[in-house]
Structure 1
Amino acid sequence: MARDLPFVVKSGLCVGCGACAVAEPQAISMELGELGAYLPVRKDGGDLEELPPDVLTRASAVCPFSNNARNEDSIGQELFDKDDARHHSALGFHQKIVAGYVNEEQYRELGTSGGLTSWVLTQLLIDGEIDAVVHVASTLEGLPNPLSRYTISRSVDELLAGRKSRYHVQTLNEVMAEVREIPGRYAIVGVPCFIKAVRLLADQDETIRDRVVFGASLFCGHMKSTLYSDYLAQSMGLETPNVKDIDYRHKEPGRPPNRYCSKISTFDHQEVIRGSEQIPMANWGIGIFKLGACDYCDDITGETADISFGDAWLPPFMSDWQGTNVAVARSKIAAKILERGETSGALEVIDWSAEKVAESQAGAVRHRRLGLAIRLANRIKMGLWVPKKRVSPASDKDLKSLFGQRMINREAIALASGPTYLRARRAGNLSIFIDEMRPYIRKYDGSRSSTLWRRAATWVVLRLPTPLEAAARRVARILKFS
């Protein structure tokens, strides 16, 4: 039997979830490397590929990017097909889909989007369906320590204190050890590959299978290394040791929800807020500091989770700065919670279709379907190890197309940004990073048609008042300009 874990790590496709260390805690641990990502290492200091075959086999079977692991279709079918859930190519299985927000201000006001993630998990606790929630929360330890990590909340108050998206690498091995030690029924929140990893662990581990009874996923564009947090601080003129916490999706009144703001809190009680357009290369689509694994993921919405939450980035929601969720319920219990909230008035939601959700995530769908086919073909061309995905590698003709070159150039940005930033930080000069990355950005821009028009339009749109921006985007969609 093939044992892919060493190939995943050596080829730069490890997302750092730590499932391998959960499966084999005596042999494998997780370490945060200098490029700001968690990687598995042997506890005895040897090479991963020299681990005993049975250890490598079990560790490889739970790695979400290993060819030895079950894919999302297989896991989703086992979990949700029995409930007569429908299937969509971009979303996976689904029972009920809604778009909207929580009417109670404490959820929407303090959440990343419409507050539905925290509300659903709160209902599970209140109903006694679960005893605890495994989720990511701020550490408040400050850089260069991890700004957030997985924790366990056993009350509603603890859960609500840990709200907000954390664009920061995580690992599961320590928190899953606690799940194994302390009996109870747990829900877990994570990005798609982490929920998949937990499902794969449940295949092997009866304790995890019995205790993790609910999975909630966040729609995921990609994960950032810890260097992204450092870069935000440096770009805002803050000294790294003074950074206490970062709100990566800060809401600013009147500002559309897709125009990200970052808010940094410091130990000397400063709060600095910047829009993404004010920070060089912070546009999410460019992908600086993106983990290599994220370019080889084909799960956009968390297809193995009982319920998944994203942003409803389509009219009429785009102009609402407070944020609006889309929720995709796959299990019966998740669908019932949404139905009850809708009936009671706790949720202000409308029914949405799978097609609408896919449309709201159109960029991610292109990147993880057509773009993934390009990247797979490019790896094959370079003679690199290739993961098996649910799309086939593209043709040589597609590789040479404008879109193909754009996808290759986008991946090059992600790969170059980490090492380049480290050199700049060691030199104490942020401009080195910006100057050295500029040719990558220009090459990426140059692989798009109508480059000058797009750049000019983007510059203008990001500075328009909310109503005008919404109108401009409607026109852009009609013209197929964006």
Structure 2
Amino acid sequence: MEDSYRDRGSSGGMVSWVAAELLQRGLVDGIAHVAPADPDAGGRFFRYSISRDLDALNRGAKSRYYPVDMAGILEEIRAVPGRYAIVGIPCFIKSVHLTCAQDTVLRERIVFTLGLVCGHMKSRNMVESFGWQMGVDVRDVARVEYRLKDPSRPANWYRAQLSCRNGEERQQDWWHLVDGDWGSGFFQNSACDFCDDVVAETADISFGDAWVEPYSSDGRGTNVVVVRSPEIHALLRNGMEQGRVALSPVDAGFVRETQAAGFRQRREGLAYRLGWARRDVKPRKRVHSGHHHLGWRRKLIYRLRYMISRGSSGAFQLAKRLGRPGIFMAWGRLMLKLYHGVTYSRGRLGAAFDWAERRLG
């Protein structure tokens, strides 16, 4: 069984709603999810933790684009009997299922998986880069908010906030940050170039943002939800009948449209990358290597994303080693200008690419 729905409400709100329902109805004893962490305690701004009540769950209910691991919470689940649900991106959810296949204790205790639609994951360098651009030393940052909520602004207008130890707060819209164009691939995990799972296909339920108009301009945010578990489907139907959650059925085509960029990157882009990227790695995927149907400009877009995702970490580390953040900023602005010209026809470079495309086809 697989059903899809659209929710008009705060972006990400459906994840919290379903998790809260599982807790309140006693279907689980804990929800494992990514929550803020004290950077002084472990050097990280976020980590996986297990929430056993609504207050703890609500404290962790926001977007996190930060590297984490599940080793600690899996050990806690092994040590503390109970029923658990795990929230995670597609690769984490698949890893949980593979681990459960070999571990009878985890298989008995992890009863639900809640998946998040994923474009790719970022390295921890992005936080420090944001700090450079906002005039904050990462060592002075106490908390990070990647997406501040503001119903008066379109949901796709991301605004980041860094909260300092002295109480000061710095904010900036992502489009003013050199690495703020998500699709360009700054600080992307290299493994993401070979992932073909956009909507967390192995999860009991998946949640994503509806990146299609008019929903992407709605400041309240809009979720798309794909349900594969009869028990969770019953929770949603009950909530709809009682008026506690507003959902509208949609078809697979609508869900795909909301994640069109992600599917292009993980289908035709993956097929193209399989032919040349990381020739020492030959993963088996549902798509096969091939690119004859792609035009030269689309190929260049995929090449640039690959270059940016690999080069951004090197440029960042060089700038950090020399104590000159401007090196990274200059490199990033140059690459972003090139990427925007090729992808969105912006500026003189864009006009030049448009002219070349008309001439070359």
* Structure 2 counterpart of 1:228: 126
Match of residue 242, structure 1, among 140, 147, 171: 140
Change (3 A) 1:142 1:218: farther
* Structure 1 counterpart of 2:155: 257
- What are structure 1's unaligned runs of at least 5 residues? 1-84, 86-93, 103-107, 457-482
Q: For residues 315 and 338 of structure 1, what CA distance do their matches in structure 2 show?
A: 25
The aligned amino acid for 1:387 is P
Q: For residues 180 and 199 of structure 1, what CA distance do their matches in structure 2 show?
A: 15
Change (3 A) 1:97 1:399: closer
* Structure 2 counterpart of 1:69: none
Shift of 1:436: 2.6
Shift of 1:98: 1.4
Q: For residues 279 and 242 of structure 2, what CA distance do their matches in structure 1 show?
A: 57
Q: Does 1:386 align with 2:287?
A: no
* Structure 1 counterpart of 2:6: 99
Q: What are the Cα deviations for residues 69-119 of structure 1, in whole angstroms up to 9, with x where unaligned?
A: xxxxxxxxxxxxxxxx2xxxxxxxx2x2111146xxxxx4xxxx1511011
- What are structure 2's unaligned runs of at least 5 residues? 352-361
Q: Does 1:326 align with 2:224?
A: yes
- 1:22-41 superposed matches below 5 A: none
Match of residue 34, structure 2, among 122, 127, 136: 136
The aligned amino acid for 1:434 is M
Shift of 1:315: 3.3
Q: For residues 329 and 454 of structure 1, what CA distance do their matches in structure 2 show?
A: 44
| Poorly superposed stretches of 4+, deviation over 6 Å | 453-456
Q: What are the Cα deviations for residues 338-370 of structure 1, in whole angstroms up to 9, with x where unaligned?
A: 111111111122111111010011110101100
Which deviates the most, 421-430 or 440-449? 440-449
Match of residue 196, structure 1, among 64, 86, 94: 94
Q: For residues 142 and 421 of structure 1, what CA distance do their matches in structure 2 show?
A: 23
Alignment identity in percent?
A: 38
DSSP-derived class of the 2:283 partner: coil
Q: For residues 114 and 153 of structure 1, what CA distance do their matches in structure 2 show?
A: 17
Q: For residues 40 and 151 of structure 2, what CA distance do their matches in structure 1 show?
A: 27
Q: For residues 45 and 207 of structure 2, what CA distance do their matches in structure 1 show?
A: 23
DSSP-derived class of the 2:216 partner: coil
Match of residue 351, structure 1, among 227, 249, 266: 249
Task: Check the 8 A contact 1:287/1:410 in 2, yes or no.
Answer: yes
* Structure 2 counterpart of 1:404: 299
Q: State the TM-score, normalized to the length of structure 2.
A: 0.92
The aligned amino acid for 2:74 is M
Q: Does 1:160 align with 2:55?
A: no
Which deviates the most, 187-196 or 267-276? 267-276
Q: For residues 272 and 439 of structure 1, what CA distance do their matches in structure 2 show?
A: 25
Q: For residues 353 and 400 of structure 1, what CA distance do their matches in structure 2 show?
A: 30
* Structure 1 counterpart of 2:314: 419
DSSP-derived class of the 2:183 partner: coil
Shift of 1:426: 2.0
DSSP-derived class of the 2:314 partner: helix
DSSP-derived class of the 2:28 partner: coil
Task: Check the 8 A contact 1:135/1:150 in 2, yes or no.
Answer: yes
Task: Check the 8 A contact 1:219/1:300 in 2, yes or no.
Answer: yes
Q: For residues 185 and 175 of structure 1, what CA distance do their matches in structure 2 show?
A: 13
Shift of 1:267: 1.0
Q: For residues 341 and 17 of structure 2, what CA distance do their matches in structure 1 show?
A: 44
Task: Check the 8 A contact 1:143/1:242 in 2, yes or no.
Answer: no
Task: Check the 8 A contact 1:186/1:212 in 2, yes or no.
Answer: yes
Task: Check the 8 A contact 1:142/1:242 in 2, yes or no.
Answer: no
The aligned amino acid for 1:99 is R
The aligned amino acid for 1:254 is S
The aligned amino acid for 1:351 is P
* Structure 2 counterpart of 1:123: 21
Q: What are the Cα deviations for residues 127-157 of structure 1, in whole angstroms up to 9, with x where unaligned?
A: 1111101111000326992100000111122
- 1:463-478 superposed matches below 5 A: none
DSSP-derived class of the 1:405 partner: helix
Task: Check the 8 A contact 1:144/1:240 in 2, yes or no.
Answer: no
Q: For residues 334 and 176 of structure 2, what CA distance do their matches in structure 1 show?
A: 20
Task: Check the 8 A contact 2:341/2:348 in 1, yes or no.
Answer: no
Task: Check the 8 A contact 1:402/1:449 in 2, yes or no.
Answer: no
Q: For residues 454 and 183 of structure 1, what CA distance do their matches in structure 2 show?
A: 60
Task: Check the 8 A contact 1:139/1:147 in 2, yes or no.
Answer: yes
Computed over aligned residues only, the root mean square deviation of the Cα atoms, in angstroms, reads 2.1
Q: State the TM-score, normalized to the length of structure 1.
A: 0.69
